[in-house]
Chains A and B, each alone.
Chain A
C-alpha cells in the first residue's frame, strides 16, 4: 500500500499545525463560528446533534494494521471506545472534543493518516473497489488512480470552494463494487481497441434528494490524461455549478440542466487547453505511485487447498461463513474475506476498539498487513490463504465479528440517523437493528439469498436507500417517524434507482412491512431468481397487495 515519503509527512504535519492555530483562534473568539465552519469542515470536523464528530479519511478504504491500531487507540483515548465505518470507506468518531481535535490529527499524522477533505465543498476522499488488487476481474488496481487523485486534489487551490461537495469513485473491474454510477465522477478502467488501459468517465451521478444515475461523457480517456481531464470537469463545474441553492448545487444538477452531451462538449473544449499544460503526472511519478500497489508476494499455491476443503466439509458453521463471507481471489490458493460489521442487533458499521485491534492482528498475521473498509460498511481481509481461513474465522468468532451474513438481508447499509446526525428526520440505526433481529435466523437469511437493504434517516440519502433492492427512507410527518419503502434499486454496473412501493409505514410497522416484502418475494420466486429479477417479472402489484391489503 501507499507509504508517505518526506513530502507527504511534511504536508500532514503542516496541516495539523495550521488547524491547531485555527482552533485556537476559534476558542479565543477571533474566528466566528461562520468563519471557522468551512475551516473545520476541511479537516473533517462536524458539529452534530450532541457533539463534534471527526471523520477520518481512509483513502480508497485501505488501512495497514498499524493504522487500524491507531484508530482503536483514538476510539479509546478520545472517544467512547468505538468508531463507525461509513459508506465512503471512512471512519467517524462521534464524541471528540474541539480542544482535542488537533491532538487527534497529530496522532493520525504519526501513522500517515489525516481528516483532510472528508467534509466541506471540496473534492472528498476518493473511494475504490474494496476488492482492489485481489479481484480476478480487474484490469488494474484502481487504488493507483485513486492515490494519484488524492494527491492532486489535496488542498487544490482552485477547487477547495466548489459549489458543493465532490465525490470520485474508481473501479478497475467491470463488476462495479464501488457504486461509481452514483458519484459525481465515476471512473471505470477499460481497455481500448489496442489494449491500452484507460478510463470510462461517468459524471453527474448521485443520490440525495435528486437521485440520478451518472452519464458517460467519455468512453475512453488515456490514463496519462487523467488529471487534466478531471481538472477540465472540475473547472466547468466550479464556474457554472449553481451556488444560489444548496439543493441544486451538485454537479448532477448542472449535467442534468444542460444535458450530458453539452456538458461533455464543454469539458472537451476546456481539456484541449489543459491536456498538454503541466497538470498531468509524468510517467515516472505515476510509476512511483504504482510501485506501492504492487501485488504482495503471493506464494505459489495449488488452486484447491485440501485442509480447507476438509474443514468446510466437517464444520457446517464454517462452511456457511465461507459461502457468504469469502470470495474468490485472483491468486490460486488465496481468498478474500469479508468481516461483517453487522452482528445481530448491532449498529451497522460500528466496531469497538478491541474489534479493530483483533482485525489488525488477523491482518498482520494472515493478510499481508492490510485491511479494507468497504462502502457497504464492512471490513475486508483481501489476501488470505485458503489454508488460513479457518484460523481467521476462529479469530473473528473470538472478536464477535464472524456473522456469516455478507450480502444477505441483515448486511444492512444504514446512515447514523437521528441518533447522531443533525440533518436526520428519523432514526435509522434502531430500524436496522430491529430488522437484523427479525431475520436473525441465519438459515432463513441464506434461504432468502443475496438481498441489499439500505436505510437513510433523511432525504440526503447517506444510507443509499435509492439503490437498495429494498430501500427505506425515514421521514418526519408532524413529529412522527415514517418510513417510505422503495423496491428494485441497484448500485452496481447496472445501477438503477428503486421506486416507491406505496404509502409510508410507521416506526412500529416498518419491520413487518419488510418481512411482508421478503415473504412475497419468496412466494413469487422462480428458479432461484434474485429479488430484482422477481420484481421485474411480477411487477409491484403482488407486493402492494400484500402490503396494503385491508386486514
Chain B
C-alpha cells in the first residue's frame, strides 16, 4: 500500500508483520498488540525499532505506559465509518504525549484526510490508485475549524479572533505554540 506523509508518497521503512511471521535482520516490524504482549522481551532485544498495530477495538489506554518503545503506532480502520481510531489518536497525542509516527491503515479515504490529520495522524496507508495531489486537494478543501483537536489549530481558527492561547500542555513532548504548530508530527 502506498504511504502518504506530508501529502506525498514516501518510502515505507516499516514492515507490517503477521503474528506468525519471523523477525528478520534489518526489518523494522509493526506487530499486533497480542504479539507485543506475548513477545515483548524478544522484540525489545531485536535491535531494531518496533511499531505497534492496534485494531479499532483495542484502546491505547492499555499501552499508555509503554509508548517509549514504539517508533510508529498504526491504528486500523476496518471500515472508514469506524470512528474509534480518531479517539485513540487524540488520546495518544494529547494525553499520552506520543510523538512517533501515527499511521492510519485499513479503509482510508481522502474524505477522511482532514479528520485524521486533525486528530494527530501523520501517515496514511492508502489505496494503490490514490493520487497524492487528490489527497493534498482534499486537505485544502476545508480550512475552517470550529473546535480544537490534536492539531491545536484552534489557534488558527475560531478562537484566534480573540487571540486565545490554549491551556498549557500536560505533556512536554507537545509544543502548543499557536502557529505554526512545532510538534514534529504536525504539518
* Residues of A participating in the B interface, judged by any CB pair closer than 8 Å: 7-8, 10-11, 14-15, 17-18, 21-22, 35, 38-39, 121, 151-163, 227, 235, 238-239, 243, 273, 276-279, 281-282, 284-285, 288
Contact = CB atoms under 8 A, between A and B. Distances in A.
A161 B152 CA distance: 20
Given A278-B167, A284-B162, A155 B83 contact: no
A278 B166 contact: yes
Contact of B119 (A158, A239, A278): A158
B111 A157 contact: no
B95 A162 contact: no
18 contacts: A14-B141, A18-B142, A152-B146, A154-B146, A156-B149, A157-B114, A158-B87, A158-B119, A158-B149, A159-B83, A160-B115, A162-B83, A238-B87, A239-B84, A239-B88, A243-B82, A278-B148, A278-B152
B148 A14 contact: no
Contact of B83 (A152, A238, A284): A238
B83 A158 contact: yes
Given A152-B147, A156-B147, A158-B149, A35 B82 contact: no
Nearest to A9: B144
Contacts of A282: 159, 162, 164
Interface in B78-97: 80-84, 86-88, 90, 94-95
A194 to B, nearest CB: 25
A504 B121 CA distance: 53
Nearest to A236: B87
B99 interface: no
B109 interface: yes
Nearest to A160: B115
B95 A273 contact: yes
Contact of A11 (B88, B109, B146): B146
Contacts, number: 110
Contacts of B148: 277-279
Given A161-B82, A276-B167, A35 B159 contact: no
A35 B87 CA distance: 22
B55 interface: no
A62 to B, nearest CB: 19
Nearest to A13: B144
A525 B81 CA distance: 52
Contacts of A277: 94, 148, 166-167
A239 B59 contact: yes
Interface residues of B, number: 38
Interface in B130-164: 141-149, 152, 154, 157-159, 161-162, 164
Nearest to B56: A243
B164 A285 contact: yes
Contact of A39 (B111, B116, B157): B111
A35 B109 contact: yes
Interface string B103-119: 00000010100111011
Contacts of B166: 277-278
Contact of A161 (B83, B118, B162): B83
Given A35-B109, A152-B146, A273-B95, 20 more contacts: A152-B147, A153-B147, A154-B147, A155-B114, A155-B145, A157-B86, A157-B114, A157-B116, A157-B118, A161-B82, A161-B83, A162-B83, A238-B84, A239-B87, A243-B82, A277-B148, A281-B159, A282-B162, A284-B162, A285-B164
Nearest to A162: B83
A165 to B, nearest CB: 12
A154 B146 CA distance: 7
Contacts of B161: 7, 285
Contacts of B95: 273
B113 to A, nearest CB: 11
A5 to B, nearest CB: 8
B147 A279 contact: yes
A238 B111 CA distance: 19
Contacts of A8: 144
Given A158-B119, A277-B167, A282-B162, A151 B82 contact: no
Given A161-B80, A285-B158, A155 B146 contact: yes
Contacts of B83: 121, 158-163, 238
B107 to A, nearest CB: 9
B86 A238 contact: yes
Contacts of A15: 142
A38 B80 CA distance: 10
A11 B119 CA distance: 19
Contacts of B143: 10, 14
A157 B164 contact: no
Contacts of B144: 7-8, 10-11, 14
A158 B166 CA distance: 18
Nearest to B157: A7
A467 B23 CA distance: 61
Given A14-B141, A22-B111, A278-B152, A161 B146 contact: no
Contact of A285 (B88, B90, B162): B162
Contacts of A285: 158-159, 161-162, 164
Nearest to B140: A14
B154 A278 contact: yes
A38 B158 CA distance: 26
